Chains A and B, each alone.
Chain A
Amino acid sequence: MAKVLVVTSGKGGVGKTTTTAALGGALAQMGNKVAVVDFDVGLRNLDLIMGAERRVVYDLINVVQGDAKLSQALIRDKRIDGLFLLPASQTRDKDALTDEGVERVIGELKAQFDWVICDSPAGIERGATLAMRNADVAVVVTNPEVSSVRDSDRIIGLLDAKTKKAEAGERMEKHLLITRYDQARAERGEMLKIDDVLEILSVPLIGVVPESEEVLRASNVGTPVTILSPQSAPGRAYQDAARRLAGEVIQMVIPGERRGLMTRLFGRRAA
């Protein structure tokens, strides 16, 4: 059964698009059929991060409005089998997306794919609520920084109120992904620690991605970091997060952590 995942955050610039591409890449490498869908109408960027910006012909709005078939708009990734991109429109008005239209397209995607990953726009407006509306599971991307944590708290509230799952009285599955983490600065008391963020937001942790130049390098060349450098720290962090999403139990590794004997022996429990 297909799973619809929304990658959201409230705040912009925390790594939603990077995360969408990286998780999409990792899940596809695990043998899943994956569609990554850009909901950021007018400010699309997933095509650029996926390295498909010159292959966009039709987009999500064309499909929602019936001007193109889903198969015409989906862009097949040239590097990884089973990875597809449904780009957002760069020019059209975001009001062109309707609840019913989006629901129909997500339904069509679910019939063909194992994972449908929706890259949410920033903010808490209609674009963000449309992206989360049909989701079964949410990854909330947060930086260890006050404005990002506050905005994540708002988004968590919306996930529990505005999704179809929440409206049906079901529990919305949510996971926290902390990105741009710097263990050395956290140890010096300069940056919020993982445990601080978890305590404040009380959403279980799915992964910690360290601040890394690999992420910028991946976006420079238009390749998800999990495909470009799977052995790098962010590459591994995203792969682990993807496997946890798929239901595997993997020990949580905080990048850069000096691990004592006890934690090495017994592992570290997060959330």
Chain B
Amino acid sequence: MNVFGFFRKRQPAASVARDRLQVLLSHERGIDGDPNLILALRESILKAIGQHVEIEPDKVRIAMRRGEQLSTLEVEVEIPGKTNLSSAA
């Protein structure tokens, strides 16, 4: 522990819990309050990509951003490097 860490006030566990929940639930709620949308999308995307490339479920990140004019769906899929790409159909 450095000298600054000693003086820094530790964040109460309850506010860590609140912040984590707020971030998590904003992702899980999805568009128009349909809580299952993100999960359903995630499942379908995993299945579709998984037919062609081997992927780890935890390497798929899906985020929804709601804007006034435009909403976006961000899908980030990490796939294996060139050497281990298999074309499983």
Contacts and interface: CB of A to CB of B under 8 A. Distances in A.
Contacts of B28: 150, 153-154
A227 B55 CA distance: 55
B29 A153 contact: yes
Nearest to B30: A157
Contacts of B35: 153-154, 156-158
A192 B14 contact: yes
Interface stretch (A15-23, A112-120, A131-139, A183-191): A183-191
Interface stretch (B15-23, B42-50, B66-74): B15-23
B3 interface: no
B89 interface: no
Interface in A139-167: 145-146, 149-150, 153-154, 156-158, 160-161
B contacts with A: majority SS: helix
Contact of A196 (B18, B24, B25, B34): B18
B81 interface: no
A21 to B, nearest CB: 29
Interface residues of B, number: 17
B5 interface: no
Contacts of A161: 34, 36
B36 to A, nearest CB: 7
A200 B33 contact: no
B14 A150 contact: no
B14 to A, nearest CB: 5
Contacts, number: 46
B1 interface: no
Interface residues of A, number: 20
A150 B24 contact: yes
A140 B13 CA distance: 24
B13 A157 contact: no
B14 A196 contact: yes
Interface centre among A156, A158, A193, A200 (most CB of B within 10 A): A200
B21 to A, nearest CB: 5
A188 B10 CA distance: 13
B33 A190 contact: no
Interface string A184-219: 001011111100100010000000000000000000
A189 B21 contact: no
Contacts of A191: 14
A190 B22 contact: no
Contacts of A186: 14
Closest 10 CB pairs of A and B: A189-B12, A157-B35, A196-B18, A189-B14, A146-B17, A192-B14, A153-B25, A200-B21, A192-B17, A191-B14
Interface of B: 12-15, 17-18, 20-22, 24-25, 28-29, 33-36
Given A146-B20, A188-B12, 12 more contacts: A150-B25, A154-B35, A157-B29, A157-B33, A157-B34, A160-B33, A161-B36, A189-B12, A189-B15, A190-B13, A192-B17, A196-B14
Interface of A: 145-146, 149-150, 153-154, 156-158, 160-161, 186, 188-193, 196, 200
8 contacts: A146-B20, A153-B25, A153-B35, A157-B29, A186-B14, A192-B17, A196-B18, A200-B21
